[in-house]
Amino acid sequence: MDPLLDIQNLSLVFDTFDGTYHAIDDVSLSLKPGEALGLVGETGCGKSVLTRAAFGLVPSPPARITQGSVKLDGMELLGLSDRALRQVRGRQVAMIFQDPMTYLNPVFKVGTQLVDAIRAQHGGAIDRKAAREIALDMLEKVHLPNPLRQFESYPHELSGGMRQRILIAMALAARPKLLIADEPTTALDVTIQAQILDLMAELVDDMNLSMIMISHDLGVVAQVCSRVAVMYAGKIVEDAPIRDIFDSPLHPYTQGLLGALPHPFRPADDLESIPGNLPDLLDPPPGCRFAGRCTYRRPECTVPISLENVEPGHSVACVLRPGEAATTDSATKDLNHA
Amino acid sequence: MLEIENLKVHFPLPSGQTVRAVDGLTLKIAPGETMGLVGESGSGKSTVGKAALRLVDSTSGVIRIGDLDVTKARGRQMRKLRSRAQMVFQDPHSSLNPRMTIRRAVAEGLILNTSLRGKALRDKVAEMLEAMGLPAQFHDRFPHELSGGQKQRVCIARALALDPELLVLDEPTSALDVSVQAQILRVLRSLHEARPELTQLFISHNLAVVRFLCQSVAVMYLGRIVEMGPVDRVFDAPSHPYTKALLSAVPVPEATRRPDRIRLQGDIPSPTALPTGCAFHTRCPIAKKDVCNVQEPPRIELQDGRLVRCHFALGSAPE
Ligand SMILES: Nc1ncnc2c1ncn2[C@@H]1O[C@H](COP(=O)(O)OP(=O)(O)OP(=O)(O)O)[C@@H](O)[C@H]1O
Ligand SMILES: Nc1ncnc2c1ncn2[C@@H]1O[C@H](COP(=O)(O)OP(=O)(O)OP(=O)(O)O)[C@@H](O)[C@H]1O
Ligand code: SF4
Ligand code: SF4
Ligand SMILES: [Mg+2]
Ligand SMILES: [Mg+2]
């Protein structure tokens, strides 16, 4: 099947006062129709910049895309005019973010905002009444209790979980092919997060939606996605079915992340902490960006290392091959250098 | 060590309403025990921690740290409280003065509360920082020259410098990345060995972290504890319907989706208008009409010593 989204060799830098910041480096990522992919990694690794840059949402300057291509359904997006990109974002791609309040206007009723957004998605080609029908239908789809009443409320009268449902409804009203969800549940409580994650899994199935879900929490991603891409310092270091990520992670960073994660139902004697710090992306190392913290580092790690397919559906950017990296226990646990 | 009895902390609002942030909370932590305090946002966890250190005033109830009556402490007793109990907050960045080296940050409390000066003071500060994995080359750095995890370790060193008997940690790892969180959790767990007599109240909404660190856990819902007991018992065989739902909603780092999820309907009610009877009855999947919405459930002790606030904690669930 042809990919719905196909990012190839994308690199992006920020021109800053201190120099050129290499935020995204030679990233390739593709998504099949109907697929739900989790994009995980720690703060600042580039998850948001990557997904926003693909759809023209990172302002230039300071950002500059230095190479690569982004195709949606075969159409190249890099180089499109702002106007064309806005159309792509309105109709084919929808986005939701961590803090729904930032995307709702506090002085207008929720219903009004939904109707306006839906009319805009249709380029004004439908009237308010038709837009209202679509909106109510979507609110039902996201299981918002009492949609007619919520239509008349202001954003601040709703809880965080309800606001996030409204934004999901707004995003999906245009029947996009692709949903980018950037930490959609990070600000929510556990029981409310579970409701929203269930909803997202349901919508992906029902609406035949493709999704990239960004999170720093592997557990959250596991509730919804079938595949995971792990990012580290502006690069994707591993891309695999979710089962492989948990059962046979290949990249030492992925292994470190898993070793650092406490489990609520399997008490651990100890956790791992990954020693060392992130590399300076104003002057990144030429080879593997994890080399400064990796216990398996070898001389060949200093040349550029690209993501390679090592097993069906499983790619890794590391010189080690399956079986070569020992299990997670042997990584260092040295606090002083952490 | 820490004993709280029927604590109420109410905040009057300008609108005339009252936020019942903590509303009849009772708990006891044994010396040397680390207790996790979990619950959803707004359930009153931080308020309990602050009340225990008199950083907010309680409306009624009793709080004792050892033989010290916290709610009545004045003057000299207040100073005693300040050295006996310490708190570490979520955001290490805003807890440290940006213009003070970390050596200075740790020394301050010692200068105010002890007679240590000169070399003895310097040695004590160095010892505290080194115990947190911050060797000498770090001691003259300013907060902005440290990573988030390192800053949080400075905050813990500062809190421990006064040899407190009680340490209250309010979401100390929530602002940190997973790998950095692991550092801090390992530091805190090593305290169990290094300072076996230190009592810790660990406030968190992250249940996996609580499982790793704590011996006992108290689950809060709308200002009250609904279940409290040994961490293994509560996690492996939760009794209260809210605890069951909460644990079933935790995202676990595993490849398979959890099939056993209990879906709670609706949102948490506002603490300005607590539901009558059992505060959980508006969302409880087994609530019984004319019982749960009318009568406050008693605190029931299970055979394993757990305390549960539910009419049906001993079985005899509603038909
Ligand atoms: N406008 C900008 N100018 C300079 N640097 C930027 C700019 N925007 C982002 N960056 C940098 O790019 C890197 C990637 O940021 P990004 O927001 O994608 O991280 P992230 O993985 O989404 O992190 P988080 O989990 O914290 O959201 C960060 O180091 C960030 O500081
Ligand atoms: N000074 C105050 N004035 C009025 N209301 C307050 C005050 N402090 C706390 N509250 C309210 O009391 C309730 C309990 O707050 P608290 O901060 O203890 O919750 P929490 O369990 O720590 O939540 P979180 O997980 O979000 O930190 C909340 O509804 C909060 O808005
Ligand atoms: S490429 Fe080398 S340094 Fe990088 S993760 Fe693999 S072994 Fe470690
Ligand atoms: S007392 Fe009733 S409403 Fe409360 S938890 Fe028990 S069954 Fe549910
Ligand atoms: Mg981000
Ligand atoms: Mg709090």
Is residue A237 exposed (0-12), middle (13-18) or buried (19+ Cβ within 10 Å)? buried
Summary mean pLDDT of chain B: 91
| Average of per-residue pLDDT across B157-169 | 93
Structure confidence at residue A55 (pLDDT)? 93
Distance A310 CA to ligand 5 centre (A): 29
Structure confidence at residue A336 (pLDDT)? 35
Q: How far apart are CA B210 and CA B37, in angstroms?
A: 8
| Average of per-residue pLDDT across B140-160 | 90
Which atom, in ligand 2's list, is nearest to the CA of B270? Answer: 29
pLDDT for B12-33, tens place per residue? 988 889 999 999 999 999 999 9
Distance A44 CA to ligand 5 centre (A): 7
pLDDT for B102-133, tens place per residue? 999 999 989 988 888 999 999 999 999 988 88
Q: How far apart are CA B27 and CA B6, in angstroms?
A: 9
Following DSSP, what letter does each residue of A152-215 receive, concatenated? TS-GGGS-HHHHHHHHHHHHHTT--SEEEEESTTTTS-HHHHHHHHHHHHHHHHHTT-EEEEEE
Confidence of residue B39 (pLDDT cuts 50, 70, 90): very high
> Quick check: CB of A16 below 6 Å from ligand 1?
yes
pLDDT for A196-229, tens place per residue? 888 888 888 888 899 999 998 999 999 999 999 9
Asked if the C-beta of B207 comes within 8 angstroms of chain A's C-beta atoms, the answer is: yes
Confidence of residue B148 (pLDDT cuts 50, 70, 90): confident
Tokens of residue B204, six digits: 């968190």
Write the residue in A217, A262, A264 that is nearest to B185 by C-beta.
Answer: A262
Q: How far apart are CA B135 and CA B130, in angstroms?
A: 5
Residues from chain A contacting residue B264 (CB–CB below 8 Å): 191, 195
Structure confidence at residue B270 (pLDDT)? 85
Q: How far apart are CA B218 and CA B34, in angstroms?
A: 11
Domain boundaries, chain B: 2-309
| Average of per-residue pLDDT across A41-54 | 92
Confidence of residue B247 (pLDDT cuts 50, 70, 90): very high
Structure confidence at residue B165 (pLDDT)? 93
Any bridge partners for residue B169, and if so which? B88, B202
Confidence of residue A332 (pLDDT cuts 50, 70, 90): very low
Q: How far apart are CA B150 and CA A226, in angstroms?
A: 35
Q: How far apart are CA B106 and CA A223, in angstroms?
A: 43
Question: In terms of pLDDT, which residue wins out, A239 or B261?
Answer: A239
Give yes or no for residue A140 having a pLDDT over 90: no
User: How distant is the alpha carbon of residue A124 from its chain centre?
Assistant: 30
Contact between B263 and A216 using a beta-carbon 8 Å cutoff = no
Give yes or no for residue B72 having a pLDDT over 50: yes
Which residue is closest in CA terms to ligand 4's atom 5? Answer: B310
Confidence of residue A144 (pLDDT cuts 50, 70, 90): confident
pTM: 0.89
| Average of per-residue pLDDT across A79-105 | 87
Write the residue in A191, A217, A338 that is nearest to B40 by C-beta.
Answer: A191
Question: In terms of pLDDT, which residue wins out, A141 or B211?
Answer: B211
Which residue is closest in CA terms to ligand 3's atom 6? Answer: A318
Share of chain B above pLDDT 90, in %: 65
Structure confidence at residue A325 (pLDDT)? 64
Ligand whose nearest atom lies closest to the CA of B290: 4
Which residue is closest in CA terms to ligand 4's atom 7? Answer: B287
**Rounded to 5 degrees, what angle do the CA atoms B198, B204, B208 make?**
95
Tokens of residue A328, six digits: 């997670």
Structure confidence at residue B160 (pLDDT)? 92
Confidence of residue A338 (pLDDT cuts 50, 70, 90): very low
Range in A97-101, B80-84, B233-237 with the lowest mean pLDDT = A97-101
Measure in Å the smallest separation between the Cα of B253 and chain A Cα atoms. 4
Confidence of residue B318 (pLDDT cuts 50, 70, 90): low
Give yes or no for residue B260 having a pLDDT over 80: no
| Average of per-residue pLDDT across A60-68 | 93
Which CATH number fits the domain B2-309, given the four candidates 3.90.180.10, 3.40.50.300, 3.40.50.2000, 1.10.760.10?
3.40.50.300
Contact between A335 and B252 using a beta-carbon 8 Å cutoff = no
pLDDT for A314-331, tens place per residue? 999 999 987 776 544 444
Asked if the C-beta of B135 comes within 8 angstroms of chain A's C-beta atoms, the answer is: yes
Q: How far apart are CA A51 and CA A47, in angstroms?
A: 6
Contact between B149 and A338 using a beta-carbon 8 Å cutoff = yes
Which residue is closest in CA terms to ligand 2's atom 4? Answer: B11
Give yes or no for residue A25 having a pLDDT over 50: yes
Structure confidence at residue A331 (pLDDT)? 41
Asked if the C-beta of B175 comes within 8 angstroms of chain A's C-beta atoms, the answer is: no
Ligand whose nearest atom lies closest to the CA of A285: 3
| Average of per-residue pLDDT across A284-303 | 93
Asked if the C-beta of B212 comes within 8 angstroms of chain A's C-beta atoms, the answer is: yes
- Classified as helix, coil or strand, A221 is helix
Give A 173-212 residues with CB within 8 A of chain B. 189-195, 197-198, 201
Distance B274 CA to ligand 2 centre (A): 14
Structure confidence at residue B319 (pLDDT)? 54
Residue of A40, A183, A191, A226 to mutate for B, most B C-beta atoms under 10 A: A191
Residue A267 one-letter amino acid: P
Confidence of residue A2 (pLDDT cuts 50, 70, 90): confident
Give yes or no for residue B317 having a pLDDT over 70: no
